[in-house]
Amino acid sequence: MRSVTLVTGAARGIGAATARLLAGPGQDLALNYRSDHAAAEALAEALRARGSRVLLLPADVADPQQVARMFERVDAEFGRLTGLVNNAGIVAPSTGVQGIDRPRLERLFAVNVFGTLYCIQQAARRMGTASGGAGGAIVNVSSRAAQLGSPGVYVDYAATKGAVDSLTVGLGRELIAQGIRVYGVRPGIIETDIHADSGTEAALPEAARAIPIGRLGRADEVAQAIVWLLSPAASYLVGTTLDVAGGR
């Protein structure tokens, strides 16, 4: 039986690293991205060379209609879904609480929280034994910011990831009865492009010195945890979120 895995936000960073680890014969990969088609296409070519069938899915996960169409394309091209990695997420420029306005807040929650939930809803309809599915696994990418709060940097982003953690616990317990395993990972400070989006690149060397392991993390180290959670090796975990943060 072929595995069919959808990875959101797959054009770069942790999403791309996860797709690379999953790639191989017998693994169909559906790669979602919002706008960076060139990066997504380059990744797809590399994954096809490893033996995977690859489907590119441009969509904004904050839009439930686009999410529904994305899953319908997976149905048509690959058949029934077996795995979902909810990696799509955004940050906003670093600011204290007084710099948070409504448009910023709404966009962060629309992508990071609502988008995660929309994707889980669509996946559950396909994986769940109640609808004829054979079960599967869902991994939500959270952040250590959910527990540390990111004071003075982006507490609103941290709040969205706190909501993702709550979804992981609640839906892990709800969906396991239908054969769907729901997990999370909380990355620490990882070497990806997301720091450019928040304008915090200059602070990374100092931040690295404060991490017990003494360095920033790599996207592939987070991807290893995600791929393990998707596998049968994690079959007795329910609603669990793993910290991949170097002790931070």
Are residues 70 and 118 in contact, defined by beta-carbon separation less than 8 angstroms? Answer: no
Answer yes or no: are the C-beta atoms of 45 and 11 closer than 8 Å. no
Q: List strands edge to edge, sheet with 180-187.
A: 53-58, 27-33, 3-7, 83-86, 136-141, 180-187, 241-244
Q: By three-state DSSP, how is residue 121 classified?
A: helix
| Residue 21 parent element (H or E) | helix 13-22
Distance CA 211, CA 94 (A): 20
Distance of CA 37 to the CA centre of its chain: 18
| C-alpha separations of 212 from 64, 159, 185, 187 in Å | 40, 24, 19, 14
SS3 state at 231:
coil
Helix, strand counts (H, E) of the chain:
10, 7
Positive or negative, the CA dihedral 155, 164, 208, 211 is positive
Residues classed as catalytic? 157
Q: Which contiguous run of DSSP H or E holds residue 241? A: strand 241-244
